[in-house]
Amino acid sequence: MLDELSGGVVEKLDPASAAFLNASGLAKASPMGMSLYRIEPMGMVGSVRTPLVQLDVRPKDRLGLSRLLFLLSYAGDQGFRDDPVTADEHTELWSALAASLAQLAERALQRGVLQGYLTVDESLRTVKGRIRISDQISRRPGMLVPLEVSYDEFTEDIAENRILRAALERMSRVPGVRPDVLSRLRQLKGKLDAATRLQSGAPLPPWQPNRMNARYHTVLRLSEVILRNASAEAGEGQEQTASFVVDMDRVFEDFVGAALRQAMAAFPGEMRLQYNAMLNEAVRDSDRLTVRPDAVHLLGGRPVVVYDAQYRARTDRGASLTADHFQMLAYCTALQVPTAWLIYAGAGEVKLRRILNTDIDIVEFPLDLSRPPSEILAAVTDLAEQSWGEVVRQARTGM
């Protein structure tokens, strides 16, 4: 097991496992001779498993699995909270994922497989539903039958069941899953045989949370996390391999953006994520310099506050923290905003940095990801209230 910021270890590997590890993007395995490889993290976190090797790279500060899944899921839907993962925080990742998926799927399917309406387009000799006039004319000019029709069918072959079936199948292919959990996953998958099997690499079908599919909400969020971040397949010789790899920089950035936009909705104006702005005057496009802060709040179309999320502070990367402040100073200068909020992952106190010879303030705001999800979201709400309060104060003083 490695930490994402660790310097690496030397381990004995077979060439196939080393190649799979390198292809996963989780770590780099460099040969040193005599079957020894130096394994170094690549800035990602997750787990890779082959029949002979398992490598886990944990987030800094030992962020638990339930917290990681919470962050991964929140950007997609603000209804995802504590309950999806009931496993111990320090349980091995694959065991926790498999057991959690089985438990949540059993809960979702306890009252039977969900059914819904699916729109079907078919060619029939009798009228069913409505005739697709344009298709009938273009495909069968002058012919009365067969008819191009569309109708709604009440069926189990809906997006929710397709996604759940795909997640169950993927976790069933992970090597080393406990036999009792594997049996549960396969039994659950068997209940969903009426759902169309999703092709590998195909986009997930869209679904909308509603009252009818409420019992599926939690398991679908976990299923989407598994399908977007995990792979499990038969490699050479039909040996099973699996990987679950995520970029924590992107995870933290997406989470902060989604949570902050939700919190700032309570105040006037609008929040825009990944906001592009010009940094210099330029005649030619090739000479233009741009900045792109993670989030900017606008009032009357004018930026009033800027935010940037940094999962790894510059000190984590072996560089000076000052570089983050230079970046924030550039944001404020380009957007003509007097205050920037630097949000970083970690514990600590809020700090105000007043930049000399300017009217610009940079506020360092820590977000402790080891806290329960409700407390993490409460901290983001506090950030929104503090930043909006600063906007109001500046408006009153004419800054």
Measure CA 145 to chain center.
Answer: 48
Best CA proximity match to 310, nearest among 242, 234, 387, 251:
251
Identify the pLDDT of residue 127: 67
Domain range list for the chain: 1-63, 64-115+156-245, 116-155, 249-397
Three-state secondary-structure class, residue 232:
strand
Q: What is the C-alpha to C-alpha distance for residues 60 and 311, in angstroms, rounded to an integer?
A: 10
Q: What is the pTM of this model?
A: 0.76
Q: What is the C-alpha to C-alpha distance for residues 76 and 74, in angstroms, rounded to an integer?
A: 5
Three-state secondary-structure class, residue 306:
strand
Identify the pLDDT of residue 320: 54
Please give the structure tokens belonging to residue 345: 């992952």
- What is the C-alpha end-to-end distance of the chain, expressed in Å? 51
Q: What is the C-alpha to C-alpha distance for residues 87 and 97, in angstroms, rounded to an integer?
A: 8
Q: What kind and span of H or E run contains 143?
A: none
CATH class of 249-397: alpha beta
- How many CB atoms sit inside 10 A of residue 368's CB? 13
CA angle 323, 367, 277 (to 5 degrees): 45
Q: What is the C-alpha to C-alpha distance for residues 318 and 207, in angstroms, rounded to an integer?
A: 43
Q: What is the C-alpha to C-alpha distance for residues 49 and 242, in angstroms, rounded to an integer?
A: 5
Omega before 203 cis (within 30°)?
A: no
Per-residue pLDDT of the chain (399 residues; tens, 9 = 90+): 676 767 778 888 988 889 888 988 888 999 998 889 999 888 888 888 887 888 888 887 667 777 887 888 776 544 444 444 444 444 567 888 888 899 999 999 999 999 998 776 777 666 666 667 677 667 777 666 676 767 577 799 999 999 999 999 999 988 778 899 999 999 999 999 999 999 877 889 999 889 999 999 989 988 988 898 888 765 544 457 788 888 888 889 999 999 999 999 999 999 999 988 877 776 566 667 888 899 999 999 899 999 999 987 655 555 556 788 888 999 999 999 999 999 999 888 999 999 888 889 999 999 999 888 899 999 999 999 999 999 888 887 765
Identify the pLDDT of residue 59: 80
The two counts, helices (H) then strands (E), for the chain are: 10, 19
- How many CB atoms sit inside 10 A of residue 371's CB? 14
State the SS3 of 318-344.
CCCCHHHHHHHHHHHHHHCCCEEEEEE
Q: What is the C-alpha to C-alpha distance for residues 224 and 208, in angstroms, rounded to an integer?
A: 13
